[in-house]
A and B are shown apart, each in its own frame.
Chain A
Amino acid sequence: MSAQIAFIKPCEASEKDLIELAQQGDKKAFKHLYALHHKRVYGLCFRLSGQHYLAEEATQETFVRLWQKLPQFRGDSQFSTWLHSMTVNQALSSIKKHKSFWARLSPLSEQVELKGDEMEYQALDKHLLKLPERARIVFVLFAVEGYQHHEIAHKLNIAQGTSKAQYHRARKLLQEMI
C-alpha cells in the first residue's frame, strides 16, 4: 500500500487517500499532508504565540502529534477542523510551557519586529504582536479564527466574561494602533 503513493503525484491523490495511507504509516503520504497544511498551521501558531521560534516549535509538535493520533481519526469531522483544534491546543500548550509568569504580565515587552521583506504579513499582524498575550490569543481565536467566547473560555480555562473583556481590550488597543 505504501508504494502506491509513489505513483500518485501529490496533486492527484485526494486528501482522503493521503490520510488513509498516512494512517497506515506511510511517511510520504504524511509529508504530502504536511505540505498541504503546514502554512495554515504555522500561521495559526504564529498569531497565537507572537514568536517565530515558538510558532515553529508548535508547528513541529502539532505534526508529530498528528502522526501519533492519526490512526484515531475516523472522519467524523472534517480533517482540517480536527487539525485546527489540535493546532490551537498545541500552540496554547507551547505558549504556556515557554512564557514566564512575568512575560504574561508585561504586555509590551519582548516584541517581535516583522521586517519589511516579510510580505505575507499584513499590517494587522504587526499590531497583533504588540498586544498583551491573553488579549492577542482571544482576539485571534474570536475575530480571526471564528471561535465563540464559550469555546475560548473552555480552551483557556477562563470565564466567558473574561474572554469578552479581553477581546474588547484587544480591539480597543488595535484601534488605537491603526
Chain B
Amino acid sequence: MSNNDEQLDKMVSKLPKALSPKTDLWPEIEKRLDAPVGKHTNHWRTLALASVIIIGALLGLQQINKPTNIDPNQALLASIDNIQMQHANQVAELQMMGQKVDWQSSPFSSPVETGIKQLRQAAKEIYQSLKLNPTDQQLWELWLWTQSREIELLTQAQSLPVLQNQNGDTI
C-alpha cells in the first residue's frame, strides 16, 4: 500500500459523520409537518406543461420573426404532424409488443378497449380542430392528454390477466 493510500484511509477514518447545517432547518420542517402528503408526480402533466411552454416559445419566436414570409402556423402544423406521427409509432409499438408477448385477448380488457376506441375518436376530432386552429393552447393540452391517456390505457390493457380457457382452443 502506497503512502498516499494509507494517508487517504487515515483521512477517511478521521472524517466526522455529523456536520452542522449553516441555518436552522427546523422552522421550515415544522411548517410542513401539518401539510397533507403530496400526490405522486404526474409525468404526463409535466410533459403537457412542457409542451405548452414550447408552443408558447414557438409562438413568441414567430412574433419576433414576423417580417419574413414564412407562415406563422407552419411550424405549429409541422409540430402537430410530428407529434401525431410519434404517437402513432408508439401505439403501433405497444400493440406489436402486446401481440408478441400475449396473443390471447383478455376478457377483462373489453371495457378498456371500448375506452381506447372512444378516446381515439375524440383525439381524431381534436386533431382535426387543432389543424384548423393550431394556436389554441387548450386544444393542444387536450390533444396531448388524449394521447397520454391512450398510451396509459394500452399499457393497462396489456397488463390485465388472461383467463385460462378450459376448452383447449388456445395454445
Interface size on A, residues (CB 8 A): 32
Stretch at the interface among B21-29, B74-82, B97-105, B151-159: B21-29
Contact A59 B11 (CB under 8 A): no
Contact A59 B19 (CB under 8 A): no
Instruction: Write out the residue numbers on chain B whose beta carbons fall within 8 Å of the beta carbon of A124.
Output: 8, 11-12, 14-15
Contact B25 A59 (CB under 8 A): yes
Q: Give the nearest-CB partner of B18 in chain A.
A: A39
Stretch at the interface among A6-14, A62-70, A149-157: A62-70
B-contact 0/1 string along A62-105, CB 8 Å cutoff? 01100110000000000000000000000000000000000000
Question: Least Cβ distance of B171 to chain A in Å?
Answer: 37
Among A38, A40, A175, contact of B17 (Cβ-Cβ < 8 Å): A40
Given contact pairs A68-B37, A122-B14, A124-B15, A42 touches B21 in the complex (Cβ within 8 A) = yes
Contact B33 A171 (CB under 8 A): no
Q: Give the nearest-CB partner of A52 in chain B.
A: B22
Contact B4 A178 (CB under 8 A): yes
Among B11, B28, B29, B33, contact of A178 (Cβ-Cβ < 8 Å): B11
Q: 7 tightest CB-CB pairs across the interface, nearest first?
A: A39-B18, A43-B19, A175-B4, A124-B11, A42-B21, A40-B18, A63-B29
Contact B20 A120 (CB under 8 A): yes
Question: Least Cβ distance of B3 to chain A in Å?
Answer: 9
Q: Is A1 positioned at the interface, with any CB of B under 8 Å from its CB?
A: no
Question: Least Cβ distance of B7 to chain A in Å?
Answer: 6
Given A122-B16, A178-B7, 8 other A-B residues pairs in contact with their CB atoms under 8 A: A31-B30, A34-B26, A39-B21, A52-B22, A121-B19, A124-B8, A144-B15, A171-B8
Question: Least Cβ distance of A88 to chain B in Å?
Answer: 13
Contact A42 B5 (CB under 8 A): no
Query: A122 vs B20: C-alpha distance in the bound complex, in angstroms?
Result: 13
Binding site for A on B (CB under 8 A): 2, 4-5, 7-8, 11-12, 14-23, 25-26, 28-30, 32-33, 37
Question: Least Cβ distance of A119 to chain B in Å?
Answer: 10
Query: A124 vs B17: C-alpha distance in the bound complex, in angstroms?
Result: 12
Question: 8 A-B Cβ contacts within 8 A?
Answer: A38-B25, A40-B17, A43-B18, A59-B25, A60-B25, A64-B29, A67-B29, A144-B17
Q: Give the nearest-CB partner of A40 in chain B.
A: B18
Q: Give the nearest-CB partner of A55 in chain B.
A: B21
Query: A63 vs B7: C-alpha distance in the bound complex, in angstroms?
Result: 35
Query: A14 vs B22: C-alpha distance in the bound complex, in angstroms?
Result: 28
Instruction: Write out the residue numbers on chain B whose beta carbons fall within 8 Å of the beta carbon of A55.
Output: 21
Contact A120 B12 (CB under 8 A): no
Given contact pairs A42-B20, A122-B11, A175 touches B33 in the complex (Cβ within 8 A) = no
Residues in A16-69 with C-beta less than 8 Å from chain B: 27, 30-31, 34, 38-40, 42-44, 46, 52, 55-56, 59-60, 63-64, 67-68
